[in-house]
Structures are given as structure tokens and as C-alpha cells.
Chains A and B, each alone.
Chain A
Amino acid sequence: GDSVTQMEGPVTLSEEAFLTINCTYTATGYPSLFWYVQYPGEGLQLLLKATKADDKGSNKGFEATYRKETTSFHLEKGSVQVSDSAVYFCALSESRASGGSYIPTFGRGTSLIVHP
């Protein structure tokens, strides 16, 4: 079945450092790929997504490129801020549930801590 593997955290960085959070996936077809972010005490919200190979999703300075050849969707940001401290979830959507809708598969999440 589908699966998503993320690097374990926490990832601890100083402000303005470069960020990479690795995500690889297993899927049988052509999934859409997502990064969701969860700020402390809140629910998840979409950060960015990509729907086909070589697409780049971007938002708030974060980027991720859909790499089908390496089945990866790594999240990057050139200069992190303290306000980026959160848990980041990689997800894919492919499996078809009953009724024709797709059930997303989530990774376990990677905690990012940014120090001033």
C-alpha cells in the first residue's frame, strides 16, 4: 500500500539557517503530494502541494519538488525564522476509497525548532 517516510526530528536550527526536511513515498500510481504544517496548539493546514512529476510547490518561502525518479518530495527553505517552529507533515493522496474519493496517507511528522 501507499506509505510516506519522513526524517525523524526534532530538527533544531538557528534563525536564518537553511532547512531541508526529507520525505520519500511509496505509491502504485501517480499521487498528489502535500506538505502540511501544524503550529503549536492548532490543527494542520496546507503549506504547499504538487500534483505531477517535476512540479514545484511553494508558499511562504518554502519549496518542494515532486521527484518521481527518486520518489521524493523534500521540503526546503533558504532562511528559517523562529515563527517557522512547528511540526511538518508530508502526505500523498492516491488510494481510492469506496465512493470514488481519495484517502490521503500522512507521514509521522517532523518537528522543527528554530532558535533566535
Chain B
Amino acid sequence: NAGVTQTPKFQVLKTGQSMTLQCAQDMNHEYMSWYRQDPGMGLRLIHYSVGAGITDQGEVPNGYNVSRSTTEDFPLRLLSAAPSQTSVYFCASRSGWGQTSDTQYFGPGTRLTVL
């Protein structure tokens, strides 16, 4: 059971480039989400999905796209990278459905630098 996996671990982009951050989970979780972590800002929700084919915006969605074609995978796309997107990105998944007590499981993160 690998849990939540993310690739790559590190990435450097130039302004204007696009890329996809990969996230996969093998726990058959319905709920998946993407966060960015910046110094002094804590975790901010970018996008989330409550199941295959269903996605919605979080707190800071601009500049990012997501899709959920399978239960296992939830990739995050940067359309045209900007220096303001330099951050550490975490993918998370959660078991259960509609339970406030459900635990979130986080991936190890992707550290992205945009020059």
C-alpha cells in the first residue's frame, strides 16, 4: 500500500512553461485535493474532487487546472507558470463520504521553483 504518491519531487520551470504535477492514491479514496504551502501562509486549497469526473475550485485556483478521470489519479496542471507559483505542492486524499472525522492522507510534496 503506497498511500499517496506525487511526482516529481522537485521541478524548476521558466516563466510561461506548462507542466503537470502527478498525484495517485491506492486507497480507493473518493475525495482528493491539492494544496500549496508557502511560508507564513500555511496550506491553501487549490482544487478538490469528490469523485471521478467531479472537480471544484478551492481558495486559490487561478493558474491551475485539474481533472479526475479515475478514482486513483488527480493531476494538477500549471498552464503558464509564473514566479508567484513557486511553492511546495501537496496532494491529499480522504476516506469516507460526508464524515467530518475522516483523516486526510498527504503525499510527500512537490517543490516547484519558477524562474
Contacts and interface: CB of A to CB of B under 8 A. Distances in A.
B65 to A, nearest CB: 18
A99 B48 CA distance: 11
A93 B92 CA distance: 14
A42 interface: yes
Chain B interface main SS type: strand
Q: How extensive is the interface on chain B, given as a class?
A: 20 to 34
Residue picked from A96, A97, A99, most chain B C-beta under 10 Å? A99
A45 interface: yes
Nearest to B3: A43
Interface stretch (B14-22, B69-77, B78-86, B97-105): B97-105
B66 interface: no
Interface in A82-116: 89, 93-94, 96-104, 106-109
A103 B45 CA distance: 9
A46 B105 CA distance: 8
Interface string B8-48: 00000000000000000000001101000000111101001
A51 interface: yes
